[in-house]
Chain A
């Protein structure tokens, strides 16, 4: 089955800095990669996703890059703000499957 590794587990940055979270996956058949943000005690919220036919996707301060050859994808947050503080989960889903595999999560702390 799919195995998703996520790093780092904790990331601390100053407000205004950039933050990068990296994930690797094992199943070359995976073709959908969503990123979720979960604030304490709340539901995971989809913030951005990318499909395997695209190398990069951007939405305002958030971008995701995908390297299919290396089987890794990354989340980039620019100009971080305190409200970006949360746990971020990456996930990978194989074609033909409804079931994504989640990474272990990255706790992002943005210091004002």
Chain B
């Protein structure tokens, strides 16, 4: 299957700092990438959908100025958590869908963020 990588896998930061998470599709071109947040023992909560070269579409309740998403190429999307606070601590997972159709999503391994 298609491979999606995510970096870093773990990050611990101080409150007030910004954290950038990268999501890469390694062996396919991804027109669309998705960013999810997952709290312990809960489902995947879609935060935003990003299409290469255009602005991300955020889900209701997700602050676009706090969670900055950039999808500059067909293989890379980044999520920046700005001025992180302890309540932003969570498991962030990206997924990517191939170009050219309504293809299956493939998930990255996730990034566990802990804000102190």
Contacts and interface: CB of A to CB of B under 8 A. Distances in A.
B97 A98 contact: yes
Interface in A19-75: 32, 34, 36, 41-46, 49
Contacts of B91: 41
Interface in B86-116: 91, 93, 97, 102, 104-110, 112
Contacts of B106: 46
Give the interface size bracket for B toward A: 20 to 34
B34 to A, nearest CB: 7
A38 B86 CA distance: 25
Nearest to B31: A98
Interface residues of A, number: 23
Contact of B44 (A41, A44, A93, A98): A44
A46 B97 CA distance: 13
22 contacts: A34-B104, A36-B107, A41-B112, A43-B4, A43-B108, A43-B110, A44-B44, A44-B93, A44-B107, A46-B1, A46-B105, A93-B102, A95-B102, A97-B102, A98-B32, A98-B97, A98-B102, A99-B49, A104-B42, A104-B43, A105-B43, A107-B41
Interface of A: 32, 34, 36, 41-46, 49, 89, 93, 95-100, 102-105, 107
